[in-house]
Structure 1
């Protein structure tokens, strides 16, 4: 029972909570305290570093001289042969058009690149600055500079000016219509009739065989006369809808698996609302993974299960597997983890949004609403890839009047979900902030689990261009568990690297198996030593599963009516349609 002093503090706490929630909404869920602390840390340490200040001044003078000489050559009519001064980075697509090399746009974009270089030097390598603050300041400086890039300004972008002249402004009128559509209450999500769930995407035939307050479990119909006896249970991330693994028929991983002769089950998470605010990580384990596993074990009795997890679903699966190993539960045959981190000490650019102040602000807002809005997570990802996801779209659609055609992956990406307040706060703190899982402190059922207890063979996939779960972070499972690990590094990003069907062009991967108890190889050494193979990694995974599966036989029934596992409806079910 709370004491009198605690009771007396409750009104003050309620006031603080309401203020913090309002602050979170006003600041778009970005902690102003974190931003202020980062800038103060950087500015005060820079002020105490006269050598660094002199170096920055020297660089500014050098750049001013370069620009003066370049401008002089341009004005003298020699700009076609003038030294460019600063070359855009190879991966920078902003100034590729030849029009950027003509006066005066060449001067504009060179000046911008020089400013970008100066701020990159200014925000890095400052003595005494906390690394998290350094990354935050550098990131903020890039975001601020990107806002004023000449490529984003209609009067400073030669491509926009040329298009406007050619079309006599029709491109701007189309862009205005696109902007109006996007700002309307019925904003364009998946396009007019495009990629409807159950009609165009998530169409692999199957039945819903389990439903509780958190999940629907889909059992997919067999596509072959005989199937391997070990079923596959897929645990997708709860941040987005499950059908990233069942997009269009040509690139559906689920369809590919059933065509390879497997009985496939997949969890479809409910899109939570305010009534689900108290669902926590244990609920996602018990009502999610364990409820699904119990159903699979009843429908396919006496057979071990190939468990497969994607993104945070893979992290949840690793936690569950460690708890099962601790408790002597041997129902799993193998573990496949796709872009799933188990060590969060280097979580990539998402770490920019992870500190005590930021999480506390999110907790205050979620306490008020009961969940995290889908748009907030999407906004964080958009900031991390602001050019690809924001500025290039604004220029292309609103200034050039070119609406990019929708594809199935874009439609899925727009179909975001919410997250319960308790669960989201727990995984942010336990995983990202405190790294409890890799350090053996993560509780399941009131007792800590250790990844070192896992003895199942593991198939782990990382992607080269992953900004959500960097592959070197995914690779860290090698020193957290002594089990056999087959690691695959494939081209693509967090999503496109997993949706990598056979026949897709420009795909390659590296694969190597470390035996159980084998020696550790550092990730960069691994990447340099393992040969590159062309094509999709899906067939390699199918071969890996086949080596750990029995001879095909008769497929199981759909559901199990006699044991409370009756068929509840057709796939993809109702939860995936929840808004």
Structure 2
């Protein structure tokens, strides 16, 4: 993760929230001139009142000064509540109040950003043994030392994160580490660390990552002492894990029977199941960016962050306003601030996608929905969930904004032998949220024990 120290050990300011110009521009445009919206708001309110007055009166023509406006039902509800208050308010006083509130919110956001960027804390360094590496990819060992008999029967678990975020969300700090939890629960966990692509990965496709790197990592896990192998994929990592599992099981190697199960955590499949407009917008932007991607050889992190920001443009401003309000003198507030900083450090330390992989994801997955339509091929093989008969688990967070529940549910329903769980959590919350360790991870561990045939 990004270092928070310069070479001379002085604290350095963090990069986030990335892309900072986007979030600053949005905050300034939204709050620095809040009162400017009043004339437009009043015009729509007056138009709505005229429409309501004319309803059931076909003999009354619409006002020439205020022709009927198409007003969405949700806006009508808001206008019905706020409109009468607008009529009763003093215009000058209301404009002044809006301006002051806009400045207050802008100040809270900027205060939160500055507090985050100036926080004097370094990411927790958690070194793990490297079992295998190739190019920028490493396989890290999170096993605990146990008795020999336990080593022989403990299920081996390969955890596959996304290509666009570092694996540390699975090991954020000692108090909230999914990988440590698996080890403490009696499993032998291993995790793929993709890292940022280097010179060897510049021309990679998804096939190179999956049929090449991921399947070879699976071979290394198979060589380790232990019981049945279970693969866990998180977010985009679930798609990689699904494809690798299908390729692995389809091979002629008798050892493929060691692959006992596949758990998919917040894994998309039907990219047009919900928010199809957003998916097509992502694809359109991807097509427009293709000339730049060819020059840069990658989709930079800040552009990737723009795609995530479009899901909820005001999420970042809300988060940093809340961060500014934390009482760091109080133990609870201090702990919350520490967790916020650790999570934001991870979010802002993303990984770029090489050009060919970016095109496959943005244009093929989001634009053409090749996964759901049966057109996604890896190393020449059509990836078809219906062909994977091993026990599977689909964890579909009910409040997921990054992977809409409908997208992940589509995958779970296609897998022939799949248990579907819909925990009350968000996309990131299922990994680091308050209920993750007590309510969500135990469900995953219980399913894995059932699959492995253990106690």
Query: How does the TM-score come out when normalised to structure 2?
Result: 0.70
1:15 is aligned to: none
Q: State whether structure 2 residue 130 is matched by structure 1 residue 208.
A: yes
The alpha-carbon distance between structure 1 residues 264 and 464, as it changes in their structure 2 partners (threshold 3 A), is: same
Post-superposition shift, 1:223? 6.1
> 1:267 — aligned with what?
192
Conserved in 1, the CA contact under 8 Å of 2:157 and 2:187?
yes
**Could you tell me whether the CA contact under 8 Å between 2:397 and 2:427 is conserved in 1?**
yes
Shift of 1:296: 0.6
Trace 1:104-183 onto structure 2 (pairs within 5 A).
156-159=98-101
Aligned-pair CA distance for 1:318: 1.1
Q: Determine if the alignment matches structure 1 residue 497 to structure 2 residue 430.
A: yes
Q: Distance in 1 between matches of 2:89 and 2:45?
A: 25
User: Is the contact between residue 262 and residue 393 of structure 2 (CA under 8 Å) also seen in structure 1?
Assistant: yes
Residue 367 of structure 1 aligns to a residue in which SS? helix
Where do 1:505-524 residues align within 5 Å?
A: none
Structure 1 unaligned segments of length 5 or more: list them: 1-27, 29-56, 67-84, 90-94, 109-149, 165-170, 183-187, 505-534, 553-579
1:318-397 equivalences in 2 (<5 Å): 318-328=242-252, 329-346=256-273, 348=275, 350-355=278-283, 357-390=284-317, 392=318
Q: CA deviation at 1:479?
A: 4.0
Q: Distance in 2 between matches of 1:290 and 1:456?
A: 17
State yes or no: 1:429 paired with 2:359. Answer: no
Q: Is the 8 A contact 1:319 1:437 kept in 2?
A: no
Number of the residue aligned with 2:343: 409
Query: Counterpart of 1:486 in 2: which secondary structure?
Result: strand
Give distance in 2, aligned partners of 1:540 and 1:101: 54
The verdict on how the C-alpha distance between 1:472 and 1:397 changes in structure 2, with shifts beyond 3 A counting, is: closer
1:488 aligns with 2:421: yes
Deviation at 1:344, TM superposition (A): 2.4
Distance (whole Å) between structure 2 residues aligned to residue 378 and residue 489 of structure 1: 26
8 Å CA contact 1:465–1:492 kept in 2: the answer is yes
Corresponding residue for residue 446 of structure 2: 543
Contact 1:459 1:485 in 2 (8 A): yes
Following TM superposition, by how much is the alpha carbon of 1:106 offset from its aligned partner in structure 2, in angstroms? Answer: 12
* Paired position in structure 1 for 2:140: 218
**Distance (whole Å) between structure 2 residues aligned to residue 234 and residue 447 of structure 1:** 23
Determine if contact 1:306/1:334 at 8 Å carries over to the other structure.
yes
The aligned residue for residue 354 of structure 2 is 420
**Residue in 2 aligned with 1:298?**
223
Q: Superposed, which structure 2 residues align to 1:236-255 within 5 Å? A: 236-255=161-180
1:211 Cα shift? 1.1
In structure 1, what is the Cα distance between the partners aligned to 2:384 and 2:251?
12
Query: Is the 8 Å Cα contact of residues 205 and 356 (structure 2) preserved in structure 1?
Result: yes
Distance in 2 between the 1:107 and 1:155 partners? 6
Determine the C-alpha separation between the residues in 2 that align with 1:106 and 1:498. Answer: 49
Gaps of 5+ in 2: 1-21, 23-42, 53-74, 329-335
CA offset at residue 317 of structure 1? 1.0
Instruction: Provide the rounded CA distance (Å) in 2 between the counterparts of 1:275 and 1:215.
Output: 10
Q: CA separation of 1:365/1:217 partners in 2, compared to 1, >3 Å: closer, same or farther?
A: same
**In structure 2, what is the Cα distance between the partners aligned to 1:101 and 1:248?**
53
Q: Given the superposition, is the C-alpha separation of residues 220 and 156 from structure 1 closer, same or farther in structure 2, using an over 3 Å criterion?
A: same
Aligned in 2, Cα 1:102/1:305: closer, same or farther, shift over 3 Å? farther
Report the alpha carbon displacement of residue 229 of structure 1 after superposing the two structures with TM.
Answer: 2.8
In the other structure, the counterpart of 1:52 is none
Aligned pair count reads 373
Could you say if the C-alpha distance between residues 261 and 396 of structure 1 is closer, same or farther in structure 2, counting changes exceeding 3 Å? Answer: closer
**Aligned 8 A contact 1:347 1:469 in 2:** no
Using the TM superposition, give the Cα deviation of residue 271 of structure 1 relative to its aligned residue in structure 2, in angstroms.
0.8
User: What whole-Å deviation, never above 9, does each CA across 1:347-399 have from its counterpart, x for those lacking one?
Assistant: 536415234x4322222111010111111111222232122213x3676789x
